[in-house]
Structure 1
Amino acid sequence: MLNQNFDRHRRLRNSAAMRDLVRETVLHTDDLIYPIFVKEGQEPKTEVTSMPGVFQFPLHELESEVATLIDLGIKAIILFGLPDDKDDVGSGAYHDHGIVQEAIRLVKRVAPEMIVIADTCLCEFTDHGHCGIFENGDVENDKSLELLKKTAISQAEAGADIIAPSNMMDGFVKIIREGLDEAGYNNIPIMSYAVKYASAFYGPFRDAANSAPQFGDRKTYQMDPANRLEALREAASDEREGADFLIVKPSLSYMDIIRDVRNQTNLPVVAYNVSGEYAMVKAASANGWIDEKRIVLEMLTSMKRAGVSLIITYFAKDVATYLKGDA
């Protein structure tokens, strides 16, 4: 006879109902933020080759996409703009009638209940593809801050609910917070890309946003993937300077960082499930190598288990469909 002096952990796994009863981490549609790429012009929406199911939308097709998201129960989006014209200072980013500003106005007009987050950066609008003013072989930090502040204010004026600066300039949260407050937008929160690594997982995004650097790289302002303690310093700085949310980007290879940041702060922590992570799953699924639904739900649940409150993900529509039981 076996010695039965051991723990019986399987008692809590012996049926689906029991597993549901003791489940510690639950993924909800309310956790999801869906990225949308909006382009100028009248051309129809264009699928991003490296991101199946993700499109660049002209303004006249944006309303239909927003209606689809509302039907799925998705309550928040983050907007990225694709301008027709670019220059060396990214003036389209802070123009009163820039593509992001016009997209914000449209969404708030047709779906005022939708939370609209504005990505606040210059890289999609500069002809060199960097996230600020490029001089003397590098991005000029302090000169770039003034343009980022102008961009944030123009997005708030257009009706953005949340400003999300993604440029990783030193002091960007402080300057944007001061600018918003001085302009009368003291109730607009900042969702800072507090911990953003110089990652190889961004490749498909740069196809989607037409934002690849024309020369050099972003390693002087985005973080070295080898560093952990630096992430805690970055997050702490942004919190001191007035951030209301802290983003960790990418997510899958940085679960340790998500947990570290979660343990350090009481602010909501946001994971950005980035384009390369999305594209790899879609490619493997298209080849029949994985069960896409199970993989996606496991990935996003693991992000919540690591400590995030919200997830920016291109899978948002898929996940909302899964959670409704329609797939």
Structure 2
Amino acid sequence: MGNLMIRPRRLRVSSGVRAMVRENTLDAGDLVFPLFVVPGSRVKNEIPSMPGNYHLSPDMAEEVAREAYEAGIPAVLLFGLPEYKDAEGSSAWDANSPVQQAVRRIKAALPELVVITDVCLCEYTDHGHCGIIKGQKVDNDSTLVRLGQTAISYAEAGADMVAPSDMMDGRVASIRQALDACGFQDISIMSYAAKYASAFYGPFREAADSAPQFGDRRTYQMDPANAREALKEVALDVQEGADIIIVKPAMAYMDIMHQVKTSFRQPVAAYNVSGEFAMVKAAARNGWIDEKRTVLELLTGMKRAGADMIITYHAVDAAKWLRDR
């Protein structure tokens, strides 16, 4: 027994053995695919900084949602670029805005596909901030009213879930109360609870035409240096009625994801954001990395860190690679 050698490699000798002892498994059912919906019809224009992702009119959003569903992806997350913008972002709760149109089309065609709608005003305001401006600051409490209106509008269109991303204090409670008062008790809230003021959002702001016209978002999005604050934000959102918690971005915040997963009972979603996606795409196009292996490794890492689901622009490609594997 003194010469006994422990050989961990015995459990790596073949693909079958490796599959038997694998601790975390990535599946298409773990993925959520974001879509950018614009006015018009038959519009499908590739977003330059996000190859393979498009500005889609409601009819084309339905087609792309079908492709995602047929690949085994259970949910889509809709963002909107409206026909008009104003100081309050009133097109966000306009029943005829592109997101509401797309929700109606997708749910009619694919009733089993989960449709989630982002709830924020930044795409809809002429100043690009996530709330109502008073002076040079975003006014928290007046913004809550508009977020509630927006969530109700999406629920009326048929959304299964709303995802507030604005980072206003008290917005989950305000949206929950607004939905419940209108009879939408069954609409879930997927809260961007730990959303950091990150440099990784650049391509998204081009895609959503949502860059702020002055200042930045550091007075409401979180400081990247803080971890305890994330747990405080999550605790507040859970207390206010959040059903699912998002940590955003994913790659630089896997420690936060792990802490949230081990501290709370709510399902956790990782948001693999636009800058993370664009870096992988650029490196792959230059031949510096193997795109398929890199993407699946990153997404598996997010699962290992604690994510129950992953919002990612890689979703359709990843689902196809997983199916083929």
Per-residue CA distance 1:234-291 (angstroms, 9 max, x = gap): 0000000000000000000000000000011111000000000000000000000000
Runs of 5+ in structure 2 lacking a partner?
Answer: none
- The residue number in structure 2 matching 1:15 is 14
- The residue number in structure 2 matching 1:75 is 74
Q: CA deviation at 1:215?
A: 1.0
- The residue number in structure 1 matching 2:220 is 221
- The residue number in structure 2 matching 1:160 is 159
Letter of the structure 2 residue corresponding to residue 23 of structure 1: R
Q: Measure the CA separation in 1 of the matches of 2:155 and 2:243.
A: 15
Which residues in structure 2 correspond to 1:4-43 (within 5 Å)? 4-42=3-41
Letter of the structure 2 residue corresponding to residue 10 of structure 1: R
SS in 1 for 2:146: helix
Q: Measure the CA separation in 2 of the matches of 1:4 and 1:22.
A: 26
Q: Measure the CA separation in 2 of the matches of 1:296 and 1:281.
A: 8
Q: CA deviation at 1:6?
A: 4.2
Give the TM-score taking structure 2 as reference length: 0.98
- The residue number in structure 2 matching 1:297 is 296
Q: CA deviation at 1:159?
A: 0.4
SS in 2 for 1:312: strand
Deviating above 6 A after TM superposition, structure 1's stretches of 4 or more consecutive aligned residues are none
Q: How many pairs align?
A: 324
Q: Measure the CA separation in 1 of the matches of 2:41 and 2:107.
A: 21
Q: CA deviation at 1:66?
A: 2.0
Letter of the structure 2 residue corresponding to residue 276 of structure 1: G
Q: CA RMSD in A?
A: 1.1
Contact 2:33 2:315 in 1 (8 A): yes
Q: Measure the CA separation in 2 of the matches of 1:66 and 1:187.
A: 23
Letter of the structure 1 residue corresponding to residue 65 of structure 2: V
Contact 2:62 2:102 in 1 (8 A): no
- The residue number in structure 2 matching 1:120 is 119
Q: Measure the CA separation in 2 of the matches of 1:67 and 1:157.
A: 22
- Quote the sequence identity (%): 56
Contact 2:58 2:99 in 1 (8 A): no
Letter of the structure 2 residue corresponding to residue 196 of structure 1: K
Q: Measure the CA separation in 1 of the matches of 2:60 and 2:9.
A: 51
- The residue number in structure 1 matching 2:307 is 308
**Residue 269 (structure 1) aligned with residue 294 (structure 2):** no
- The residue number in structure 2 matching 1:193 is 192
- The residue number in structure 2 matching 1:255 is 254
Runs of 5+ in structure 1 lacking a partner?
Answer: none
Letter of the structure 1 residue corresponding to residue 207 of structure 2: A
Letter of the structure 2 residue corresponding to residue 110 of structure 1: A
SS in 2 for 1:33: strand
**Residue 208 (structure 1) aligned with residue 170 (structure 2):** no
Contact 2:87 2:126 in 1 (8 A): yes
Which residues in structure 2 correspond to 1:239-250 (within 5 Å)? 239-250=238-249
Contact 2:203 2:274 in 1 (8 A): yes
Q: CA deviation at 1:137?
A: 1.1
Letter of the structure 1 residue corresponding to residue 102 of structure 2: A
Q: Measure the CA separation in 1 of the matches of 2:213 and 2:66.
A: 36
Q: Measure the CA separation in 1 of the matches of 2:183 and 2:264.
A: 27
